[in-house]
Amino acid sequence: MSGASETAIAGLWRNFIGGQWLGDGERLAVEDPATGDGLAQVALCDADAVDRAVRAARDCHQSGALTGPPPAQRLALMFRIADEIRQLSAYGAQVLCRESGKALDDARHEFDEAVRYFEYYGGAADKIEGRSIPLGDGYVDWTVREPLGVSAQIVPWNFPVALAARSMAAALATGNAVVIKTPELAPLAATLLARAAERAGAPEGAVNIITGWGSRAGEALVRHPQVDQIVFTGSVPTGRSILHAAADRVVPSVMELGGKSAGIVCADV
C-alpha cells in the first residue's frame, strides 16, 4: 500500500486505482518542510494511469455496485468509512503534520472533520427523494434524482484531507464513483482516505485516489471524456482553465477559487 506501516511514514506511497495499490513509474520525493529532510516518496500518475482510474470509476458506476443495493447499505458503507478514518486519525495526523508543516492539533482537526463529513453525508444516503408534480386529471408526473456517474476531484495542499473527504463523501453518498487527485505539496495523508474506504468494503473502483502534476494528471483528469462532474479548490487562473475544459463537454462543475485569509507575523513571534 502506501507507507510501510501505520507507525512509519517513509517508503513508497502508491496510487489507489480500481481497488489496487499501483505505481511503479515516476516518483516524487516528499520533504518535511520543517527540516528539509526526505520524508517519503509517492508514485506519480501519468495520463495512462489517470485513464485507468477514470475507467475503473466508470466501470463501478455502470455495474450498479453503488446504486443497485438499497440506499441503506450505502449509508452503512459511509458510516464504516467514517469509523475507519477515525481509526487512522492518530497516524494520519502525524503524516499530515510532517508533510505539510501544519500544526499537529490542526492536522487532528482535519481528520475529525473527515469523519464528520462521512457521518453527515452518510445520513443523507437513504433520504434522496423525488417529487410528485400535480398536472391535473389524466397525468402522472414525478422526478427521480440519479447520480451523475464519475466525479473528478482536485483538492488543495492547505486542507488536503478535510476537503477531499468533503467532496468524496458527498459523491459516494449520492451513488457516484470518485477519482481524487491529491496535491503535490501534501499528497500522503489524503491517500489514507482510500485505505479507509478499502477497509470499509467499498466496491472496487468506487474510490480512486491518485497523485500527479497538475499540468499532466490534473489536465488529463478534467479533460477525460468519461468524467461527469468536476470539483476543484484552488487558484482563479487554474479554475478558469478547468471551467473552459468543462464547458467544452458541458460538464457540471463545483469551484472554490482564491483565498483571502491573510496572516500577519509580528516581529516577536
- Contact of 179 with 150, CB cutoff 8 Å: yes
Q: Is residue 108 part of a domain?
A: yes
Environment class of residue 35 by beta-carbon count within 10 Å: exposed (0-12), middle (13-18) or buried (19+)?
exposed
To the nearest whole number, what is the mean pLDDT of the chain? 94
Q: Is residue 3 part of a domain?
A: no
3-class SS letters over 6-70: CCCCCCEECEEECCEEECCCCEEEEECCCCCCEEEEEECCCHHHHHHHHHHHHHHHHHCCCCCCC
Report the predicted TM-score, pTM, of the whole model to 2 decimal places. Answer: 0.91
pLDDT, position 53: 98
In the chain, what is the straight-line distance between the N-terminal and C-terminal CA atoms, in Å?
A: 40
Q: Which has more pLDDT, 265 or 261?
A: 265
- Contact of 205 with 60, CB cutoff 8 Å: yes
Q: What is the CATH number of the domain that holds 252?
A: 3.40.605.10
Q: Is residue 9 part of a domain?
A: no
Radius of gyration of the chain from its Cα atoms, rounded to whole angstroms: 19
| Range 24-49 average pLDDT | 93
Q: Is residue 239 part of a domain?
A: yes
Q: Is residue 21 part of a domain?
A: no
pLDDT, position 3: 44
* pLDDT bracket for residue 7 (50, 70, 90): low
Q: What percent of the chain has pLDDT over 90?
A: 87
Domain count, the chain: 1
**What pLDDT, in 10s, does the model give residues 81-101?**
999 999 999 999 999 999 999
**Has residue 114 got a pLDDT over 90?**
yes
- Contact of 72 with 126, CB cutoff 8 Å: yes
Q: Is residue 16 part of a domain?
A: no
- 145-178 burial, b if ≥16 CB within 10 A, otherwise e? eebbbbbbbbbbbbbbbbbbbbbbbbbbbbbbbb
**What pLDDT, in 10s, does the model give residues 55-65?**
999 999 999 99
Q: Is residue 111 part of a domain?
A: yes
Which structural domain, as residue segments, surrounds residue 191?
45-128+145-257
Q: Is residue 135 part of a domain?
A: no
